Amino acid sequence: MNNDKQLKNWLNNFNLNHPLVIAGPCSAETEEQVLTIAHQLKDTDTSVMRAGIWKPRTRPGNFEGVGAIGLEWLKRAKEETGLKIATEVANKTHVELALKADVDVLWIGARSTVSPFIVQEIADALKGTDKIVLVKNPVNPDLALWLGAVERFYTADIKNLGVIHRGFSTYEKIKYRNNPEWQIAVDLQSRFPDLPLIVDPSHIAGDRNLVFDICQTALDLNYDGLMVETHHTPDKAWSDAAQQITPAFLDQMTVDLKIRNREG
Ligand code: PEP
Ligand code: MN
């Protein structure tokens, strides 16, 4: 498997002296909401704005995303703030629309990583792209599925690849929405040491009060970045309200987090 030193290049291109920060709402809701959040994030350490437009809800009957119109809102957020933009893609059509809208970062959700058919379809649609592609861990604690997805993207010649650790579901009631099982991400990192590793504290936590400590643990483990759900009025969010923080909270959090000295 190709595992050369080039792999962290895309991260180095951001030229940061701190971990990469990806922030933004769980879901794009309205154009006004996307632009309000983008402008509030502009003056933080955030480099990339995230927003889901096709939402993979576990049960039907919940808000399932605004769809392709959200790409227009993200494009406008990028034009107005200079932030790069990121969204989740879960099939070939999503990939085609996101590439057409010049989305900078495409991520594969936890419910897609479990399916080799879906992963392969997305990898084929992205073949050879220079976009940044981030692969979330599968919902279940299965390292092989996560590795398999990464391998499918390498095989499709996706060079600007990274992984997102968002925790693993359990039937047991625990303090977290998704059990971090840090060892699984550490094992993945040991096999692909040059693959940027980003924590998603929001989906691990399920509760905004736990977000800071999860970020600190990840940074202590030398993670390369954070993807944090951030909303201007978190309690009114249309999805994942309990875990979202405000841009102001995010800004303070990046000051308070003890960030280790990083090489290069
Ligand atoms: C999300 O990022 O909003 C999301 C749906 O995440 P996950 O795939 O980790 O559940
Ligand atoms: Mn979410």
Strand, coil or helix: 49: strand
pLDDT at 9: 87
Strand, coil or helix: 198: strand
Distance 261 CA to ligand 2 centre (A): 30
pLDDT digits (tens, 9 = 90+) for 28-66: 999 999 999 999 999 999 999 999 999 988 899 999 999
ipTM higher than the 0.95 cut? yes
d(CA 4, CA 45): 28
What domains are there in the chain, each with its CATH number?
A: 5-53+63-256 (3.20.20.70)
Average pLDDT of the chain is 95
98: amino acid identity, one letter: A
User: Phi and psi (nearest 5°) for 77?
Assistant: -60, -40
Give the percent of the chain with pLDDT over 70.
95
d(CA 140, CA 26): 21
pLDDT digits (tens, 9 = 90+) for 157-177: 999 999 999 999 999 999 999
User: Phi and psi (nearest 5°) for 68?
Assistant: -60, -25
Band (7; pLDDT cuts 50, 70, 90): low
Ligand 1 atom at minimum distance from 239 CA: 3
| Residue nearest ligand 1's atom 4 by CA | 109
pLDDT digits (tens, 9 = 90+) for 167-222: 999 999 999 999 999 999 999 999 999 999 999 999 999 999 999 999 999 999 99
Ligand 1 near 119 CB (within 6 A): no
What does the DSSP assignment read for 67-110?
Answer: TTHHHHHHHHHHHHH--EEEEE--SHHHHHHHHHTT-SEEEE-H
Rounded average pLDDT over 77-104: 98
Give the CA distances from residue 72 to residues 28, 78, 111, 262, in Å, rounded to whole numbers and listed in that order.
11, 10, 25, 36
pLDDT at 3: 42
Ligand 1 near 203 CB (within 6 A): yes
Distance 121 CA to ligand 2 centre (A): 23
* Angle between helices 69-81 and 31-41 in degrees, nearest 10: 30
Q: Which H helix or E strand runs over 12?
A: helix 9-12
Q: Is the confidence at residue 109, as pLDDT, over 50?
A: yes
